[in-house]
Structure 1
Amino acid sequence: MRIALYQPDIAGNVGTILRLAACVGVPVDIIEPCGFAFSERGLRRAGMDYADGVETARHADWPDFEAQLPGRLVLLSTKAAVPLWEAVFSADDTLLFGSEGAGVPEDIHDRADLRIRIPMRPGFRSLNVAVSAGIALAEALRQTGGWPQ
């Protein structure tokens, strides 16, 4: 199981996701460009003292990331038809989250092997990307027995 962030806009969200990933032992892929100045020092600051505890891979662009994709690509999107509780996860899935401002382009949306959404009450647009990552990752780890012991 992996988390991938497509051109993230907000360093604080990346830091929160790095902390989540460090705590449960899940690698994180960051697909650039980012909407903030990205450096190893900045990454450590955003992830606090948790950044050193997570395997992080930076990718210069989408083709670089896609060339290294180990299994299925699972996109979390408000446009997806499959609700989270109907999704069936595999241990080698990569959970992809779009940028906070723009999501992912249509060609990447179409490329996903599985597109899922987290159901919300009517009238609400979306959850924070870090919250979405926590919800989706929890369900994926539950299904695949991937929670740390």
Structure 2
Amino acid sequence: MLNIVLHEPEIPANTGNIGRTCVAANARLHLIEPLGFRLNEKNLKRAGMDYWKDLDVTTYIDFNDFMEKNPGAKIYMATTKAHKVYTDVQYEPDCYIMFGKESAGIPEEILVNHEEDCIRIPMLGDIRSLNLGNSVAIVLYEALRQNNFPGMNLEGHLHHLHWNV
């Protein structure tokens, strides 16, 4: 099972949307405090819709608490400062993919100790970053694709309706 880690997320709607994506992708969500909202906040639940109750979510006091409780975890860190593109790495089925807070990303003091595991999403020119929810979805679904979408529905079905043209 893949793991998404949000380091100090600030916007409840983003975290709610990411929670919904994690439920759809059968991924765990890890939240590193401080959070910019309360977990029971109405906006968080609204963005996560009725999926929040199905989410496997864990919170941590800080990054050190996260590292202590997940020893030996393979962590990829999404940052605009990375040398590698997110498609350049092979994601293990149980790896952790970490994203920083909306206003500042992952702190550089964390990144420098994990430089080889930093990944980036390519963007044009002076664009600072993508929306956090979009960034999570892009990288998470690449990791799922590389692992053959384990346990996921790979096929849909059209209802054979007769259309009047």
TM over 0.5, shorter chain = yes
- SS of match in other structure, 1:47: helix
Q: Deviations over 1:81-123 (max 9, x none)?
A: 1012212211121000000011121221123351000011122
Q: 2:126 aligns with which of 101, 106, 123?
A: 123
TM-score using structure 1 length = 0.91
Q: Give the deviation of 1:124 after TM superposition.
A: 1.4
Distance 1:26 1:120 in 2: 26
Distance 1:44 1:125 in 2: 28
Corresponding residue pairs, total: 148
Aligned to 1:108: 110
Is the counterpart of residue 140 in structure 1 residue 143 in structure 2?
yes
Checking the alignment, whether the CA contact within 8 Å between 2:75 and 2:95 is kept in structure 1 is yes
- SS of match in other structure, 1:88: coil
TM-score using structure 2 length = 0.83
Distance 1:124 1:106 in 2: 19
Distance 2:95 2:149 in 1: 12
- The structure having more radius of gyration, on CA atoms, is 2
Distance 2:19 2:66 in 1: 18
Aligned to 2:100: 98
Distance 1:123 1:110 in 2: 23
| Unmatched segments (≥5 aa) in structure 1 | none
Q: Which one-letter code corresponds to 1:90 in the other structure?
A: E
- SS of match in other structure, 2:97: strand
Aligned to 2:39: 39
**% identical aligned pairs:** 36
